[in-house]
Structure 1
């Protein structure tokens, strides 16, 4: 059996691109997400190198089902990509939506915790495990209107750093990939509640924002280094973005 890689949030964007890339790298990919129709299409595209598993990372029961499905495959689990996440809203802190903040914390932070807890024993048993968590440059740079997402991503990076300290000496690497501006089909649209005009304005004038395949390439690179090489954190932005607030736009 091939080495197994689990990718959460695999139904679109970075997750789907990562599933394709890891399958090409020789992994048997378990594509996990809520939208089973999209997962089915992705797995059909990849072929025998992938398995679809319906999973909601905000549900303990759903994550337990994912762990059972991975175990049933019978091969060694050597890679977990914690990619499920997202942003909702651009409210200032003074009028922040409790529901949006709660959702962002549950998906980005507790979702990462649930899946990592469930699969860490199998990763350790493999003798050569790797956990890659997809964070954000929001994990270390606040910006106006981003309070809920910034807070969640700060918490997520704290989780990752703490885990690395706690399992040092065990055969599991802990990697964090923090993208800046990445243009995908859904991230900004979801953040702006489906308003495609506002979502498009985020990338207006930016000649070449990153795309999902760029991040998938980075994840595959980190995951395929020799096992003694741990890339603690990799920050990746398009050349047009020097910082959260410094983006070159061509008028």
Structure 2
């Protein structure tokens, strides 16, 4: 099996790459940080192929795919993992640039990658697209605004893929995690404020990148007649808030 992972230089993506390679599969590890990719490729050996690529740039995607060796081009599993959250300010205070970056990465990059690899999957009559969503795409919270909206897009796009792909043999899954620690997610969201990032996980036992990787591997190795539409997963320490009521 050939697996193509976006955002593979750290976090979920790197752990997914380890899981697939350790089980004997070829993995294209793509991302923007060349040094991180090369270090991961050195760790994983010949079954990992590092490709420097920015999903927010169509030209970068096209160039990266054109550079794939012939023996790596029949991608069986595309994992659209690249994504990010920026800030927790309310909508009227959030920088528009942060919104644009999240949309470009979480939505435009994801659909561009999907459109690039999907036709060949349909032609072969097999393939799997796993999109990394979030519980933020299902449940709103203060400061979630555009991040949550981008993940709602991922959820609906994946369901619509299922509608289009019925009978083709190509599968599509939205994996929507909740609180997950041990990655750069919150450090990126708080723009390098490590203290603020650490506070998110204080006193919790969150999900880990290994948990996400194990779930992705399970989805990818199911019999080909089974499609997992959506998986929503949370740590047991996480639940749901009451409705916010403004009292005067």
User: TM-score range, shorter-chain basis?
Assistant: over 0.9
Q: Measure how far apart 1:79 and its partner are.
A: 0.4
Cα separation, 1, equivalents of 2:20 and 2:90: 38
Could you tell me which runs of 5 or more consecutive residues in structure 1 were left unpaired when the two chains were aligned.
Answer: 247-251
Aligned counterpart for 1:181 among listed residues 149, 159, 179 = 179
Q: Measure how far apart 1:106 and its partner are.
A: 0.7
Tell me the secondary structure at the aligned position of residue 178 of structure 1: strand
**TM-score for both structures, normalised by structure 1:** 0.92
Contact 2:86 2:147 in 1 (8 A): yes
Cα separation, 2, equivalents of 1:57 and 1:108: 9
Q: Measure how far apart 1:124 and its partner are.
A: 2.6
Aligned to 1:129: 127
Q: Measure how far apart 1:35 and its partner are.
A: 0.4
Contact 1:76 1:126 in 2 (8 A): no
Aligned to 1:66: 64
Contact 1:82 1:132 in 2 (8 A): yes
Contact 1:32 1:52 in 2 (8 A): yes
Q: Measure how far apart 1:126 and its partner are.
A: 3.9
Aligned to 2:200: 202
**TM-score for both structures, normalised by structure 2:** 0.93
Contact 1:6 1:30 in 2 (8 A): yes
Calculate the aligned-residue CA RMSD, in Å. Answer: 1.4
Contact 2:126 2:168 in 1 (8 A): no
Aligned to 1:249: none
Aligned to 2:108: 110
Q: Measure how far apart 1:233 and its partner are.
A: 0.4
Q: Return 124-133 or 87-96, whichever deviates more.
A: 124-133
Q: Measure how far apart 1:23 and its partner are.
A: 1.2
Contact 2:12 2:183 in 1 (8 A): no
- Count matched residues: 242
* Structure 1 consecutive aligned stretches of length 4 or more whose deviation exceeds 6 Å: none
Aligned counterpart for 2:147 among listed residues 138, 146, 149 = 149
1:47-103 CA deviation, whole Å, 9 max, x = no partner? Answer: 111100011000001111232234633553210000000000111012221100110
Q: Measure how far apart 1:193 and its partner are.
A: 1.1
Tell me the secondary structure at the aligned position of residue 95 of structure 1: coil
Aligned to 2:245: none
